[in-house]
Amino acid sequence: MRMLSIPLAIVGVLAIAATARAEDGEIRQETQTRHYRLVLLIGPNETVYTAAQARLERPRAGEVMLGGRIAGEIADVMPEAGGSARPPAARSASPDLHHLELHVYSRATGKAVPEAHVTIAVTDSDRKSRPMPVARMYGIDEGPEDLHYGNNVALPPGFYTIETAVNGERARFSVTVPEGS
């Protein structure tokens, strides 16, 4: 009975917050710019492979990088992307690493935009902003129709502003990364 006394406006806010987090723990938000529909997803860290590595190794999970730049520890196992040839076992697995991806769809056609110029910057609650290297990639499980722009990035629990630009059109997302995600 007490639930019924909660003002409707508060219930609406709770519903919005709940929809930003998918059933599998992935954070999901969506917005639009003049020409694009943008979907931001933040999930667990992913292993990233070049197209050549994916053909050779035939992994069952992870991401295939089609172009762009990769970040941090991923470069440690991808010499062709500028990293050293340090073996995967030597890498540390940080629980704060997450895979951040931005799906870009044309509002006119509804289709993924395969060659957009995308920038992404992450700002933490202390207002420290850092640009994120952006790679064009797709999830191995989903295939090329999962085309998106993103990278693995350190996001300890906390509040973040994700600022994006797609071909000059800017959009901002506000997300909270919870403990244990």
pLDDT, residue 5, reads 36
pTM: 0.77
In a domain, 12, yes or no: no
Q: Which candidate, 123, 120, 168, 121, places its Cα nearest to that of 148?
A: 120
In a domain, 148, yes or no: yes
In a domain, 9, yes or no: no
Q: Which candidate, 44, 8, 28, 12, places its Cα nearest to that of 141?
A: 44
In a domain, 23, yes or no: no
- Residue by residue, pLDDT tens for the chain (181 residues) are 333 333 333 332 222 223 344 456 799 999 999 999 999 999 999 999 999 999 999 999 999 999 988 876 444 444 444 333 333 333 346 789 999 999 999 999 999 999 999 999 999 989 999 999 999 999 999 999 999 999 999 999 999 999 999 999 999 999 999 987 6
Domain containing 141: what range? 33-177
pLDDT, residue 93, reads 61
pLDDT, residue 87, reads 32
| Number of structural domains in the chain | 1
pLDDT, residue 95, reads 81
pLDDT, residue 115, reads 93
In a domain, 109, yes or no: yes
pLDDT, residue 179, reads 86
* CA gap 177, 155 in Å, rounded: 7
Contact criterion met (CB below 8 Å) for 125 and 158: yes
pLDDT, residue 24, reads 65
Residue 123: CB atoms within 10 A of its CB come to 16
pLDDT, residue 69, reads 84
User: The domain that contains 104 carries what CATH number?
Assistant: 2.60.40
Contact criterion met (CB below 8 Å) for 141 and 132: no
In a domain, 61, yes or no: yes
SS3 at position 131: strand
In a domain, 39, yes or no: yes
Burial 140-152 (b: 16+ CB within 10 A, else e): beeeeebbbbbbb
Contact criterion met (CB below 8 Å) for 154 and 93: no
How far from the centroid of its chain's Cα atoms is residue 32's Cα?
Answer: 17
